[in-house]
């Protein structure tokens, strides 16, 4: 691969590509596809010496783009921050923003646009509730995947094998007594969310917080994000969430269509 890239580069400029930079990016891509991953696997998969690999890893860790956990190396949220500036994320935000305001006028609760990053659900856009009393006053939030409605939906299009492999490498985090900590039960909740086309969260992330989410699809029918309504459980009751299912799913469909979704209903 390096030779092909260099040949193409030499025909266009007199500069040589920086081999170390190329190795660093190939390492990031490899970690992304296999995270969390051990150094021995990286050496074998990339053909790097241990010394070369550890020098690259040390640099990426120091720069904040890679982090080490007890299960291996994985990408950091700093890379998400970079990725959130690419056109597809901006298009997603732009497509969703107006409808998020429409949904807030209906639900009068916080509205979130979320994506999956490894074992965390991240809110990349928010419309705040017009109520004086609200929860989560900040703009950017992260949620363990097993604690929220959006987490169930973001995994709902995965095959059984993909979901099994993913959950084998995820540490469930308990936020409240109602948080699902059983992986078999969580898999069932994921499948139920996919079948219904929406998911709820009742006191699973916070002791006084409920949420309901619907999926956003790309043109291939893959779940790429969710739109969610979240609010205090004393106000956003289960009965209220049931009332919001139809407008929530309608807004989700409109956002998906505006992102060039092909209007085909996913098989699941």
What is the CATH classification number for the domain harbouring 32?
A: 1.10.10.10
> Is the full-model pTM beyond 0.85?
no
Q: How far apart are CA 29 and CA 227, in angstroms?
A: 28
Q: Which helix (H) or strand (E) holds 74?
A: strand 72-75
Domain at 211, CATH number: 3.30.450.40
For 10-37, the pLDDT digits (tens) are 444 566 778 888 888 899 889 888 888 8
The mean of the pLDDT values for the chain is 84
DSSP 169-235: T------STTS---HHHHHHHHHHHHHHT-EEEESSSSTTEEEEEEEEE-TTS-EEEEEEEEEETTT
Work out how many domains the chain is built from and give that number.
2
Q: How far apart are CA 13 and CA 23, in angstroms?
A: 21
Residues 42 and 117 in one domain: no
For 85-132, the pLDDT digits (tens) are 555 566 788 889 999 999 999 999 999 999 998 888 988 889 988 765
Q: How many CA atoms lie within 13 A of 91 on its CB side?
A: 12
For 175-186, the pLDDT digits (tens) are 999 999 999 999
Among candidate residues 47, 79, 111, the one where a domain is terminated: 79
- Tell me if 88 sits within 8 A of 225, measured CB to CB: no
Residues 140 and 205 in one domain: yes
Residues 25 and 94 in one domain: no
Which of 110, 111, 198, 185 is closest to 154 using CA atoms?
198
Residue 154 lies in a domain: yes
Residues 231 and 98 in one domain: yes
Domain ranges, residue 62: 2-79
Among candidate residues 18, 51, 79, the one where a domain is terminated: 79
Q: How far apart are CA 160 and CA 168, in angstroms?
A: 12
Which of 262, 150, 265 is closest to 213 using CA atoms?
150
Among candidate residues 19, 51, 79, the one where a domain is terminated: 79
Secondary structure class of 144 (helix, strand, coil):
strand
């Amino acid at each position: 691969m390096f030779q092909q890239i260099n040949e193409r580069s030499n025909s266009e400029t007199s500069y040589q590509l920086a081999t170390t930079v190329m190795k660093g990016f190939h390492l990031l891509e490899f970690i992304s596809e296999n995270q969390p991953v051990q150094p021995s696997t990286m050496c074998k998969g990339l053909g790097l010496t241990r010394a070369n690999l550890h020098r690259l890893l040390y640099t990426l860790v120091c720069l904040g783009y890679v982090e080490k956990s007890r299960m291996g190396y994985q990408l950091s949220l700093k890379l998400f921050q970079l990725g959130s500036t690419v056109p597809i994320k901006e298009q997603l935000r732009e497509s969703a923003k107006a409808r998020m305001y429409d949904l807030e006028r209906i639900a009068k609760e916080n509205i979130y646009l979320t994506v999956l990053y490894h074992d965390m659900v991240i809110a990349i856009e928010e419309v705040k509730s017009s109520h004086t009393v609200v929860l989560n006053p900040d703009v950017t939030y992260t949620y363990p995947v097993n604690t929220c409605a959006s987490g169930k939906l973001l995994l709902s299009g995965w095959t059984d094998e993909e979901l099994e492999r993913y959950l084998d490498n995820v540490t469930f985090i308990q936020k409240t007594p109602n948080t699902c900590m059983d992986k078999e039960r969580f898999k069932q909740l994921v499948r139920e969310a996919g079948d219904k086309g929406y998911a709820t969260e009742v006191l699973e992330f916070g002791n006084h917080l409920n949420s309901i989410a619907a999926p956003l699809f790309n043109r291939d029918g893959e779940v790429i994000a969710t739109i969610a309504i979240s609010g205090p459980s004393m106000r956003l009751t289960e009965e209220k969430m049931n009332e919001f299912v139809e407008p929530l799913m309608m807004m989700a469909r409109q956002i998906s269509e505006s992102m060039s979704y092909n209007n085909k209903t996913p098989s699941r």
